Amino acid sequence: MQLVFATNNLNKLKEVQSLIPDHIKLLSLKDIGCFEDVPETQLTIEGNAVQKAEYIKEHYGYDCFADDTGLEVEALHGEPGVFSARYAGEQRNANDNTNKLLENLSSQSNRNAQFKTVIALHLNENTETFTGICKGEITKEKHGEGGFGYDPVFKAEGYHKTFAEITLEEKNKIGHRGKAVQQLIQFLESHKNSS
């Protein structure tokens, strides 16, 4: 089986590739000759994931899945949420986004937050969605060199290290994207066995 993962984010691609079984061949947008910005104009994380998957199917003809991820911070009423990648502006700079988040939380004692990933799979004309959530808290400063995005300021529940300080294997076990990808894989496996 071959599936397109609708992302230009090489970090996401690497993270997901390490989880997907070998019999599923993962293609990137570059592999199918898609160099345009796939639209993400919905007001929810779910909406964006579905929009991206359907866009690739409609314009390129491939079975495909797309994800959208947001960091939802309790004290900021769910911000940055669907705007996580563009929180500090259209330049989509992770450092700027993280700095803005820390600034907005500087007077807050409630640091509770969750990462939420929704994967939308467009397969055989049907769309399925899978949601992964990882609860945790925002640290007061950045720690670690690994990961990407908000990873240096996010500590998962029960962990003393940020996502930027743990290995990719650990992150995939407990993280939001890993949880959503596991559901996707289970669905594909059961689909493969029943078809």
The structure tokens listed for 56 are 């690739």
The structure tokens listed for 72 are 């939802």
Q: Which of 22, 31, 63, 68 is flagged as catalytic?
A: 68
Are the C-beta atoms of residues 3 and 63 closer than 8 Å to each other? yes
Closest CA to 187 of 118, 126, 130: 130
**How far is residue 60's CA from residue 72's CA, in Å, rounded to a whole number?**
32
**How far is residue 29's CA from residue 7's CA, in Å, rounded to a whole number?**
6
The answer to whether 63 is a known catalytic residue is no
Angle at 168 between CA 163 and CA 171, to 5 degrees: 50
Amino acid in position 184: L
**How far is residue 152's CA from residue 146's CA, in Å, rounded to a whole number?**
8
**How far is residue 122's CA from residue 146's CA, in Å, rounded to a whole number?**
31
The residues annotated with a catalytic role in the active site are 68
